[in-house]
Amino acid sequence: MKRLRFIHAADLHLDSPFKGMSALPERVRQTVRESTFEALKDLAALAIREQVDFVLISGDVYDASDRSLRAQIRFQKAAEQLVAEGIPVYIIHGNHDPEDGRAAKLVWPADVHFFASHEVETIQVAKDGRGIVAEIHGISYRKAAETENLALQFKRGQAHVPQIGLLHTNVDGDPAHDNYAPCSKQDLLAAGMDYWALGHVHTRQVLHERPAIVYPGNIQGRSVRETGPRGCYLVELDDFGQAHLTFHALDAVRWYQERMSITEIRTEQELRDAIGDVIDRLRRDAAGRDVIVRIHLEGRSELHERLRKGKTLQELIDELREEEIEMSSFVWIESVEDGTSGELDWAATLEEKSFLGDLLRYAAAIRQDDAALQAFADEALAALQGLPHSAGHPSAASSEQLREWLRAAEVLAADLLTADGGATR
């Protein structure tokens, strides 16, 4: 089997709208808006620098089926740049950019191939002096909600030529993602590929080592739910068909969620300094990239009451944001969530025969039982069910989100019940 070097990327989501960013300062908003395109530029630069044999993109090049002309032209330019360096590009469409979506009539280089959706296509990749170096098999989504198990259509080609499969899929029903083109890992293994270049799941993971079954994740995080480095894999397939993977970060803006205890923090100055330390650490960790962070405050402190009253926390956030706008690379605080509590001894209160003790025991029991938690939430939030649906709508809340709301309600109840010196017994 012949050695290969290629780039495997997926889920570019070019020109993602980054909803909820309209209130940001112009510099931050523009940086975030351009981040998917900056990641694409770095992807092309990496492929050229490494002189790979080809680039694979496993679906969702664009963010919507009604793809923007801007995104299509930017991708066309990147593809032309790669082909000019002798690097072909092979692409499948996913659920965000299905084949039946609106596409501009652009002219693409001959060495840029979009796989069709009616059946699995096989492309033989030939290189001067090396002959056929790979057979690439791929199939696109015809429509957004693809429910067929497309993996069953893949079949191995020539025995001594590396076999690569491109598929946008949810393997083994990952509950965190829409169950499009569902298949099992066993379906993939049965197809006889040497490398599975998957897309759809935005967190990189290797499902199997030989043959390699790989999600590279998306190239640019798009919200606080997509934290940490994002990029692609440089893949080296050796003479024995073993894949050696090297992750390369491509993200222009990096997202973080940070938990910070205020247990040892007593004053506003100490809190400001502690958040400043977090900002400095993230700036170093991001290695020159811009950063957006959500900070979760937790723990017990006498500072809790002052954070809950007035505008102390918001004023602190505004001041820190203003400082970051002046930096060459910013660490923008998306929000600070206050999950702190007063200096009430929660463990002791849980054992008390008091109204507050009963309340906390009831909440603790609900928190540990998903069914009970959901039933309680349905009843408690019934008055909100008529509101327009959105990501923040109660019916869309995960168990984790419901637990956070319940915890916030516990803290508020404890604050109110102990405001005059103690809970009523």
pLDDT for position 110: 96
Q: Are residues 92 and 169 in the same domain?
A: yes
Q: Are residues 33 and 168 in the same domain?
A: yes
pLDDT tens string 388-406: 544 445 556 778 778 878 8
Q: Domain ends where: 328, 343, 358? A: 343
Confidence of residue 167 (pLDDT cuts 50, 70, 90): very high
Q: Are residues 180 and 156 in the same domain?
A: yes
Instruction: Give 3-state DSSP helix, strand, coil % of the chain, rounded to 5.
Output: 35, 25, 40
pLDDT tens string 31-56: 999 999 999 999 999 999 999 999 99
Q: Are residues 386 and 245 in the same domain?
A: no
Show Cβ contacts of residue 11 under 8 Å, excluding neighbours closer than 6 positions. Answer: 58, 59, 60, 94, 199, 200, 202, 217, 218, 219
Can you tell me whether residue 363 is helix, strand or coil? helix
Q: Are residues 190 and 276 in the same domain?
A: no
pTM of the model: 0.84
Q: Domain ends where: 310, 343, 376? A: 343
Q: Are residues 261 and 295 in the same domain?
A: yes
pLDDT for position 423: 47
pLDDT for position 408: 75
Q: How many Å apart are CA 385 and CA 128, to the nearest integer?
A: 64
pLDDT for position 390: 44
Q: Are residues 174 and 120 in the same domain?
A: yes
Residue 204 has pLDDT above 90, yes or no: yes
DSSP character string of 405-421: HHHHHHHHHHHHHTTTS
CA dist 222 → 9, 70, 146, 226, 265 (Å):
16, 18, 23, 6, 32
Residues linked to residue 124 through DSSP beta bridges, in sequence order: 135
Q: Are residues 173 and 233 in the same domain?
A: yes
**Mean of all residue pLDDT scores within the chain:** 91
- The dihedral built from the CA positions of residue 31, 36, 40 and 45, taken in this order, carries a sign that is positive
Assess contact for 197 and 37: CB atoms under 8 A. Answer: no
pLDDT for position 395: 58
Q: How many Å apart are CA 273 and CA 316, to the nearest integer?
A: 11
Residues of the chain with pLDDT > 90, as a percent, come to 71
Q: Which residue has the higher pLDDT, 121 or 174?
A: 121
Q: Are residues 302 and 376 in the same domain?
A: no
Domain carrying residue 410: 347-425
Q: Domain ends where: 343, 373, 392? A: 343
Residue 422 has pLDDT above 70, yes or no: no
Q: Are residues 135 and 191 in the same domain?
A: yes
Q: Are residues 209 and 304 in the same domain?
A: no
- Mean pLDDT for the stretch of residues 292-311: 90
Q: How many Å apart are CA 314 and CA 322, to the nearest integer?
A: 12
Show Cβ contacts of residue 361 under 8 Å, excluding neighbours closer than 6 positions. Answer: 350
Half-sphere CA count of 377, side-chain side, radius 13 A: 23
Q: Give the domain CATH number at 211.
A: 3.60.21.10
How many domains is the chain built from? Answer: 3
Residue 77: alpha-carbon gap to chain centroid? 25
Confidence of residue 343 (pLDDT cuts 50, 70, 90): low
Q: Which residue has the higher pLDDT, 116 or 17?
A: 116
Q: Are residues 319 and 395 in the same domain?
A: no
The three-point CA angle 155-157-159 to 5° equals 125
